[in-house]
Amino acid sequence: MMKEINQELPLITVICPVHNEENCIPLFFDRIQKVIADLSERYRFELIFSNNVSTDKSLDRILEIREKEPWVQVLSMSRNFGYSLTEQTHQ
């Protein structure tokens, strides 16, 4: 989706905490890609999925996306710290 990125553009980081969301991840990613496509001339983007010890296939879905999209990152927590700590980890 993303073409060559101008490193001088401002960076927007989107953080998405995940806990057992395997069915929602592809839907979320499709929607955010559409928003990013509209703004990609003015901004660079990175998307960080924070996997809070999902027991379903959430991590697999994230890794499938990451394989194709270098601007997508994943952080896997050792236990479910909840949204608040996820937010603090990325500051």
What percentage of the chain's residues is helix, strand, coil (to nearest 5)? Answer: 40, 25, 40
CA–CA separation, 60 vs 19, rounded Å? Answer: 12
Q: Look at residue 1 in the predicted model and tell me its pLDDT.
A: 46
pLDDT value at 62 more than 80 = yes
pLDDT band at 72; cut points 50, 70, 90: very high
Q: List pLDDT tens digits, range 20-56.
A: 999 999 999 999 999 999 998 999 999 999 999 899 9
The one-character DSSP state at 15 is E
Alpha helices in the chain (DSSP H): 24-39, 58-68, 82-89
Residue 82 vs residue 30, higher pLDDT: 30
